[in-house]
Amino acid sequence: MPPPSTRASVVRLLNLTSNQGCRGCGRTHSALDHHAHGHGHKGVRGMATPIEKAIAGPPPGNTDYAFEMAASTLRFGPHSTREVGMDLSNMIKQLPALDRPQAKIGVFTDPNVVKLPVMEVVEESLMREGLNWVVWDRCSVEPTDKSWQEAIGFSRSSHITHLLAVGGGSSMDTAKAANLFTNYPEADLYEFINAPIGKGKPIEKKLSPLIAIPTTAGTGSETTGTAILDIPSKQFKTGIASRALKPTLGIVDLNNTATCPKEVAIAAGLDVLFHSLESWTAVPYNERTPRPANPINRPAYQGSNPISDIFSRWALETTIKYLPRIAKDPYGDEEARAQMLLAASTAGIGFGNAGVHMCHAFSYPISSLNKGRPTNLQYHHPSYSPKIPLIPHGVAVSLTAPAVFEFTAPSSPKRHREALEVFLGKDRAGEAGRVRNEDLGKALSEEIKQFLDLVEVPRGLEKVGYGSQDIGKLVEGCLPQRRVLDLAPLLAKDDLALEKEQLAGIVEGSLRW
């Protein structure tokens, strides 16, 4: 009979065979380093006596180490709006039998869209299914805290269980707000508005089903968890950003942009352009701080990441190719309209998970301050009511873009060079390779200006009524937009004086092109 094996020989044998991989997980590890990695063990069971060893945690520091992807279910196709009644009927059938008779649909739209053919299609579809529905057609273009409160009051008092938004980003955002605050009937508006303006409280409940039908190719709100509003008393815009706000379904129907006025289509397309370019150049997710203590606190705007990059880059290329065609033929060029709808939703997926930065941060005070200026200084967009002072969101975003990307270019020459190639087009893309890193910002800025000229954007802030005397106000209105400013490359976020100086330089460079 052979002598009994010593403990040392057993350990040596186990270590020699450990490169075969664990039978439970296939990983290679020492017999003395057998952690509970999915085996159901607690601690280590390499030998009869467990050897405790801490499982490695996340990397040191306060930057994030993970990102999440979230987007609404999207349906694309001409005539798909006709299916919305069946969609809502299917959702109602998921309720307990006793609750189905109480189901009530709130349809959110604006005074213009309610008169368009899309609403006839929607109403016919709802009637075919015999559904109980009521229309709120007072959604404001560029919604305010007051218009949101009115829509929330309507939804709460009408006992809405399902929501349908038909229109542009303003109607979709209003429906998201109505959905949120109907499910939190006691909540104050500022409870969920982004910090530091509001409390930025996480949304912990599952909200009611919401279907979004866009009638413009711009905001991408049909797929994001973002809702934006203007607070005139504070002279800036802000919003709520949470994955919980995402529509349950977005129906993207080419027929619904057939009546969109040229200027509105261009303004919406500009929003797509800078959703794409800002999310492409945002601070990477693994450089964003602070790291969330709980995954529920990981923000919807996480920074650029490998998946968002795919969507943002494609949307950028598509918008640069097709938006000028919309400017030339906004109604007859169906291919351009279809591609811009795809780009809007695709950019929505990109920026909805990566975020935007300075162009959007500046757009909020640019739009909001315009409404409170003396009448002779207010800007009125030609496609909207002459009684309403309005710098459309897409235009407001564009006005600082040349200066913004000249500023951010040193943060990532590779990404900005790729963006320059896209603006130059296939025939001229080779020129980008000959631009020195230190000249990239200026080169990209010039190409952005030339593109904006193609779609007739006002050439700088002076063209919409702002001057050097307004620089301080625009900077102060930009500073509270932390959810987006914190994603801006090279911005001195820990040095307020320097940050203000940087922002003021961008505004000054945007006064005239």
Can you name the CATH fold of 73-253? Rossmann fold (3.40.50)
Give start-end residues of each CATH 1.20.1090.10 domain in the chain. 262-510
For 477, other C-beta atoms within 10 Å of its C-beta total 22
Considering the entire predicted model, what is its pTM? 0.86
Q: Which CATH superfamily is domain 262-510 in?
A: Dehydroquinate synthase-like - alpha domain (1.20.1090.10)
Q: Are strands 226-231 and 73-76 parallel, antiparallel or unpaired?
A: unpaired
Q: What is the structure's pLDDT at 245?
A: 96
49: its two tokens: 């006596």
- Judge whether 111 and 138 are in contact, CB under 8 Å: yes
Q: What is the structure's pLDDT at 12?
A: 52
Cα separation, 416 vs 394, whole angstroms: 21
Q: Is 71 exposed, middle or buried (0-12, 13-18, 19+ CB in 10 A)?
A: buried
Q: What is the structure's pLDDT at 7?
A: 55
Cα separation, 284 vs 487, whole angstroms: 8
Which portions of the chain are predicted below pLDDT 70? 1-56
Cα separation, 368 vs 271, whole angstroms: 17
Q: Which residues contact 230 (CB under 8 A, 6 or more apart)?
A: 142, 143, 144, 145, 236, 237, 364, 367, 368, 371
Nearest to 214 by CA among 270, 164, 180: 164
Q: What is the structure's pLDDT at 166?
A: 98
Q: What is the structure's pLDDT at 36?
A: 40
Share of the chain above pLDDT 70, in %: 89
For 276, other C-beta atoms within 10 Å of its C-beta total 30
Q: What is the structure's pLDDT at 10?
A: 47
Give start-end residues of each CATH 3.40.50.1970 domain in the chain. 73-253
Q: Are strands 105-108 and 162-167 parallel, antiparallel or unpaired?
A: parallel
Q: Is 436 exposed, middle or buried (0-12, 13-18, 19+ CB in 10 A)?
A: exposed
Q: What is the structure's pLDDT at 427?
A: 93
Phi then psi for residue 196, to 5 deg, are -90, 0
